[in-house]
Each structure stands twice: as C-alpha cells, then as structure tokens.
Chains A and B, each alone.
Chain A
Amino acid sequence: MNCTEVLRVHAYFDGELDANEAASLEQHLGGCAGCQALLADLERTREALRRAPRTRAPAHLRARIDALLDSEAAESRSRVWRARPFWWGAFAGLVTSAAAVLLFMFVLLPAASAPLVDELFAAHLRSLSGDHLISMISSDQHTVKPWFAGRADVSPTVADFAARGFPLAGGRVDELSGRRSAVMVYRHGAHVINVFAWPDDALALPRTTSRRGYRLLFWRIGDVAYCAVSDAAWSELGTLEDLVRAQGAAEQHSAPR
C-alpha cells in the first residue's frame, strides 16, 4: 500500500474528514483498488475488535471511590481547628502539603505555562512581521554568544549548524515574562526558527504545543529553558533541538573541571 492517500483513507474511515474532503476521497476510492482494499480491511478489523467484551469497573472499586470522595467532602466541610495530639496534626499537615503539591503540579502548573506560551508565540509573530527579527546579524557563534552578555539574562548554547541545514542567522533579545531572553535565529530552507532561551524557573512546560499552526518545542539544558518556535515540521524542530543539545554537551565537556 504505497498510495499517498492512505492516511486520508484512515481518516475517512474514522469519520474525521469534512464533507468536501470525504467527497474527494470517495472519488479517489473509485479509481484506486489499493485504497478500496484498505478500507475493506479496516472494516473487518474493527468488526473483529469490537467483539471484545466490555468489562465493568468492579463493585469494590466503586465502593472504595465512593468512600474516598465522601471523606474528601467531609474533610473540606469540617476544616475546623480541634484539639488534637501533636503528631496527628503533624501528620495531617504532611498529608495536606503532599496533596497541595500534587494539586499544584497537576492543576495549577500546566495552566501557569499558558501565558508564557502566548508570549513566545506573540514574540515569534512580531519577529516575522517587521525588521525586529535580528539585532545582531552573524553566523559566527563566537560573535553572537558574547553579544548576549549583559544584554540577556542567560548565556545560551549557540552554534552555526549550516552543515546540517540550520544556518545561524543572528540573535536578538526579547522580553519574556519580565526577563531578557536570548533569541537565536536559525533558518531552515524557507523557514525561520526562533530559539528562545531564558532562566529555567522550574515552571512546568509542555513538551510541545502549537498556536495557530506554529509549533513550539520546549527543552531544558542545565538551568536554561529553551523553546523553538517555527512553522517548520516537528521532525525538523526535533533535529535542531538535538543539534543544540549536542553542542551544549560538547561545551560542557570542554569546560575546565
């Protein structure tokens, strides 16, 4: 099955195509025996899979969950100070802190990174729209890196990866949540890739996210957080990340101990 429409056949089968796309795919199906066979295959597989029984959550699990939720509710209702032995209080304190940390990690932190993502996206758009893309035009890492000193809050890993298809075009400094982040501008074919670097403040960052078709890929090296923003493909952003990481590791090794 080497037809280029294979993925769209899957999407059609899963009801993920809109009416126009579905109609155009149906037209293609009329003339492509391979895709017809694939579609029939998908139907047979689904039919076989759906013969599997639907297990239900066991009664003891339901009972345990009910009891847990009851005690959660009771805890929040009667959060009144009562005379309790010291160790009980200490233990309760520990449990509450642990719960608070969990809640913080799973609920508040992801939300906290959203404004940062918006800022990165806005900074990327801004850089594309005017002449603000590059302040320091150079493909020489030994020019760009020192230029950041005193201008940005971090000294990021910078190198020209022209040999690997990611020439360094220059650098600039953008304000990001009140900090001066170093921005390395790379080109990849017709794509511009802005790599932002700022002091990592242990804010939970997504690994990847996207805004209006632009892709954002995050990583960390030591105590510096990085985000590559571009319309280039995920795999290309991943390659650039690998290159920067390898460069960072090489710099680490050459450092005096």
Chain B
Amino acid sequence: MTDKRRRFEAQVLSHLDAAYRFARWLSSAPGHADDVVQDAVLRAFRGFDAFQGGDARSWLFAIVRNCHVTAMTQQQRRAWAPLDSEEFVAPQPGPEEDALQRDASSTVARLLAALPAEHREVLVLREFDEMSYGDIARVLDIPIGTVMSRLARARSALKAIAASTPGVFP
C-alpha cells in the first residue's frame, strides 16, 4: 500500500460510515448514497494531494454534498419534468437494530424527512455529526452567520412538525 493510500485511509476513509449516513439523509433514493459516496471518495482520493490539512471529515462531507448536488442536477436534466426535491423516503433501518429503537428512529426519520432539504442537512450535521458551526459552514459552503440562523429556523420548523405528531418529543 502506498503512503498516500495509507494516509488517505487514516484521515479520510475513517469517516466513511459518517459520510454514508450523511448521503442517506441527503436523498434516500435507492442506491443514491452508494453512488454518491463512491464518487466522492474517488474524487477525494484524486484531490488528496491538494488537501491542505484541517478537518478531513468536513472536507469529505463537502465533496459528498457536491457529488449529491451534481447527481441531482444530472437527474433533473435527464428527466422531462423536474423531480420533486422534497420527494424523500425515510432511510430503512438495518436488521441489526432492535424493534424498540426502530420505532423511535423511524419517527425521528419521518419528522426529518418532512423538512425541506435545507433544514434537514443543517440539523443532521449539527445533531448527528456534532459538527461545529465552522465545519457546517465549510460543508454547506455558506457563512457561519447563515449556519446559525438556518439552524435556528430548522429547529423551530422541526418543533412545529413534532407538535402535530404527539408523543415523539417528550
């Protein structure tokens, strides 16, 4: 294994699970996360020499998101009518999760799925990936101030949806 490959595995591929989860939240169309993550990892590997250091996870996430946006644009261009961007199916839990967790998690997933993509991604990055505002800004390519206000809007939107689904948030 080359030295570049070893460094890439340690710094970037260690975030593969997280990147995959993020891609699943971006779109749950079948196979989409697989394609997007595979494409992103390859691009990341090719561009790894130019990676200046810093946070490898947000760097990889930003590439994943770019690949997702590119894939969506191509899909829209191929289709006669634009796809409904809000068309989103909640990720299916794997067999390894027990029924109880599946219950709670699918409710959470449904709630998040009901949010606009812009709100969903900022919430996922903050609450699941526990990213700082700076890292989120890097992934979404927006100023930190926008992260802050968008996150606040996303949280109140989620709360509004949860309010109409009793029993989710105690």
**Chain A residues with CB below 8 A from B148, complex form:** 7, 10-11, 16
**Chain A residues with CB below 8 A from B93, complex form:** 53, 55
Q: How far does the alpha carbon of A206 sit from the alpha carbon of B34 in the complex, in Å? A: 28
**Chain B residues with CB below 8 A from A52, complex form:** 104-105, 108-109, 128
**Chain B residues with CB below 8 A from A45, complex form:** 127, 155, 158-159, 162, 169
Are A54 and B21 within 8 A (Cβ)?
yes
Known interface pairs A52-B105, A53-B105, A56-B20; A102-B43 also in contact (CB < 8 Å): yes
Are A49 and B34 within 8 A (Cβ)?
no
Q: Contact partner of B45 among A54, A57, A69, CB < 8 A?
A: A69
Main secondary structure of the interface of A (DSSP, over half): helix
Are B105 and A51 within 8 A (Cβ)?
yes
User: Smallest CB-CB separation from B123: which chain A residue?
Assistant: A49
User: Smallest CB-CB separation from A209: which chain B residue?
Assistant: B143
Interface residues on B, range: 35 or more
Known interface pairs A16-B132, A46-B127, A103-B47; A53-B152 also in contact (CB < 8 Å): no
Total A residues in contact with B, Cβ cutoff 8 Å: 44
Residues 35-50 of chain A: 1 if any B CB is under 8 Å from the residue's CB, otherwise 0? 0000001101110111
Query: 8 Å CB contacts to B: which residues of A43-81?
Result: 44-46, 48-58, 60-62, 64-65, 68-69, 72-73
Binding site for B on A (CB under 8 A): 1, 6-7, 10-11, 14, 16, 41-42, 44-46, 48-58, 60-62, 64-65, 68-69, 72-73, 99, 102-103, 106-108, 111, 206-208, 210, 234
Binding site for A on B (CB under 8 A): 1-2, 4-5, 8, 13, 16-17, 19-21, 24, 34, 37-38, 41-43, 45-47, 50, 63, 66, 91, 93-94, 97, 101-102, 104-105, 108-109, 112, 123, 126-128, 132-133, 141-143, 145-146, 148-149, 151-152, 155-156, 158-159, 162, 168-170
Q: List 16 A-B contacts (CB under 8 A).
A: A10-B155, A14-B133, A14-B151, A44-B170, A46-B127, A48-B104, A49-B108, A49-B112, A52-B128, A53-B101, A56-B94, A57-B16, A61-B38, A65-B42, A73-B1, A102-B43
